């Protein structure tokens, strides 16, 4: 008898360790154990909390008209985002590609994909590379895939000009694994198959400063739609390599509510290691606010659903 009680106690402990459903299923013996009503009230209470939480969440994300900061620089997010209705042309075009149509169009921010270390490696790389060049305007670009880098008012090929000794195997390895992680995150965020996404051109590092624009290309602060500028784009991602308000002022990324008559900004404040991802159609018109101080580093990584527009991860070119 004593051992019987011990066994039951043991069983109860085990049950408590698992979940309450199992206790419920043993209805005939359940009343013997005093704690049951207490469990119920605790459960009712915690359900109440969950319901209130859900209501607050729904209210918070549905108040569209007032919400304007999508991501603050001093907060870490894991998949905060908004859905927007897909632009019709975007949808019609992307439907030509199977397993690549987003469940919903929209924009997402995630601070848990890329580590601080990875962001540092890529920032050091960008700084080393850009130290080898001089530009007239406020935008400096390195495109590892085509081997081009901003130079004065135009571009040079850093492979042929032998300015490429700033690239190390660690840089390329980090770049590739970052690209893979972001690709997986895009697929997850938009409910598509990662194997039907391809890296596309242009994918590049950028440094933005307060310098005045010299060419039109330097004027990053105009509202634009990625799909209009680059036909192959289906999903655009950005990885920020340093911090808004610490390393630079201004330079916030802004979606606008209307391409022609914007009356509202939906803002993403850059943060080191922050990834933002969005569908590239006219549902996501955006611009980058002018940098007023410091240097803003980021990588634009673009994806297409069209295999014929895919580009490869960069490798060392033969130095003959």
Ligand X SMILES: *[C@@H]1O[C@H](CO)[C@@H](O)[C@H](O)[C@H]1NC(C)=O
Among candidate residues 211, 190, 193, 204, the one with its CA nearest the CA of residue 301: 204
Name the residue nearer to ligand X (CB basis): 16 or 289. 289
Q: Do residues 295 and 247 make contact, with C-beta atoms less than 8 angstroms apart?
A: yes
For residue 30 the two structure tokens come to 């359940």
Among candidate residues 200, 234, 233, 229, the one with its CA nearest the CA of residue 217: 229
What would the x/- binding string for ligand X be over residues 289 to 308, using CB under 6 A? Answer: x-------------------
For residue 155 the two structure tokens come to 């571009």
β partners of residue 82: 107
What would the x/- binding string for ligand X be over residues 217 to 256, using CB under 6 A? Answer: -------------------------------------x--
Tell me which H or E stretch contains 110: strand 105-110
What is the smallest separation between the CB atom of 264 and ligand X, expressed in angstroms?
Answer: 5
Name the residue nearer to ligand X (CB basis): 190 or 253. 253
Name the residue nearer to ligand X (CB basis): 20 or 82. 82
Q: Do residues 232 and 100 make contact, with C-beta atoms less than 8 angstroms apart?
A: no
Count residues near ligand X (CB under 6 A).
Answer: 5
3-state helix, strand, coil in the chain (%, to 5): 35, 25, 40
Name the residue nearer to ligand X (CB basis): 79 or 250. 250
What is the smallest separation between the CB atom of 289 and ligand X, expressed in angstroms?
Answer: 4
What is the smallest separation between the CB atom of 177 and ligand X, expressed in angstroms?
Answer: 34
β partners of residue 141: 206
Name the residue nearer to ligand X (CB basis): 76 or 265. 265
Name the residue nearer to ligand X (CB basis): 265 or 300. 265
Say which of 179, 252, 274, 296 is annotated catalytic.
296
Q: What DSSP letter does each residue of 78-102 carry, written as one string?
A: EEEEEEEPPPHHHHHHHTTSTT-S-
Q: Which residue is nearest to ligand X (CB)?
A: 265
What is the smallest separation between the CB atom of 219 and ligand X, expressed in angstroms?
Answer: 14
Residue 149 interacts with ligand X (CB under 6 A): yes or no: no
What would the x/- binding string for ligand X be over residues 252 to 271, using CB under 6 A? Answer: --x--------xxx------
What is the smallest separation between the CB atom of 287 and ligand X, expressed in angstroms?
Answer: 8
Q: What DSSP letter does each residue of 113-176 carry, written as one string?
A: SS-HHHHHHHHHHHHHHHTT--BSSSEEEEETTTTEEEEBTEEEETTTTT--TT--HHHHHHHH
Q: Do residues 97 and 235 make contact, with C-beta atoms less than 8 angstroms apart?
A: no
For residue 274 the two structure tokens come to 């922050």
What is the smallest separation between the CB atom of 139 and ligand X, expressed in angstroms?
Answer: 17
Residue 66 designated active-site: no
Classify 39 as helix, strand or coil.
helix
Catalytic residues: 296
Where does this chain bind ligand X (CB under 6 A)?
254, 263-265, 289
């Amino acid at each position: 008898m004593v051992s019987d009680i011990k066994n039951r106690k043991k069983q109860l402990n085990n049950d408590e360790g698992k979940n309450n459903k199992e206790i419920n299923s043993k209805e005939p013996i359940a009343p013997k154990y005093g704690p049951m009503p207490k469990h119920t009230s605790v459960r009712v209470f915690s359900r109440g909390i969950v319901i209130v939480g859900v209501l607050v969440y729904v209210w918070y994300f549905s108040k569209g008209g007032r919400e304007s900061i999508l991501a603050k620089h001093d907060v870490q997010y894991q998949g905060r985002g908004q859905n927007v209705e897909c632009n019709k042309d975007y949808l019609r075009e992307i439907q030509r590609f199977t397993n690549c149509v987003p469940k919903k169009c929209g924009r997402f921010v995630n601070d848990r994909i890329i580590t601080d270390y990875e962001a540092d490696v890529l920032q050091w790389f960008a700084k080393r590379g850009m130290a080898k060049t001089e530009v007239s305007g406020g935008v400096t670009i390195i495109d590892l895939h085509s081997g081009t880098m901003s130079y004065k008012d135009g571009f040079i090929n850093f492979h042929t000009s032998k300015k490429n000794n700033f690239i190390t195997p660690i840089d390329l390895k980090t770049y590739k694994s970052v690209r893979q992680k972001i690709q997986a995150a895009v697929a997850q965020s938009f409910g598509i198959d990662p194997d039907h996404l391809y890296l596309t051109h242009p994918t590049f590092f950028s440094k933005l400063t307060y310098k005045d624009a010299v060419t039109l290309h330097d004027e990053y602060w105009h509202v634009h739609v990625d799909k209009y500028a680059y036909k192959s784009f289906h999903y655009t991602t950005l990885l920020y390599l340093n911090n808004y308000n610490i390393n630079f002022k201004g330079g916030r990324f802004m979606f606008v509510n209307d391409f022609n008559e914007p009356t509202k900004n939906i803002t993403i404040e850059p943060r080191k290691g922050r990834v933002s991802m969005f569908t590239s159609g006219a549902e996501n018109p955006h611009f980058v606010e002018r940098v007023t101080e410091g240097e803003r580093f980021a990588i634009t990584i673009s994806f297409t659903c069209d295999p014929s527009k895919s580009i490869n991860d960069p490798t060392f070119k033969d130095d003959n």
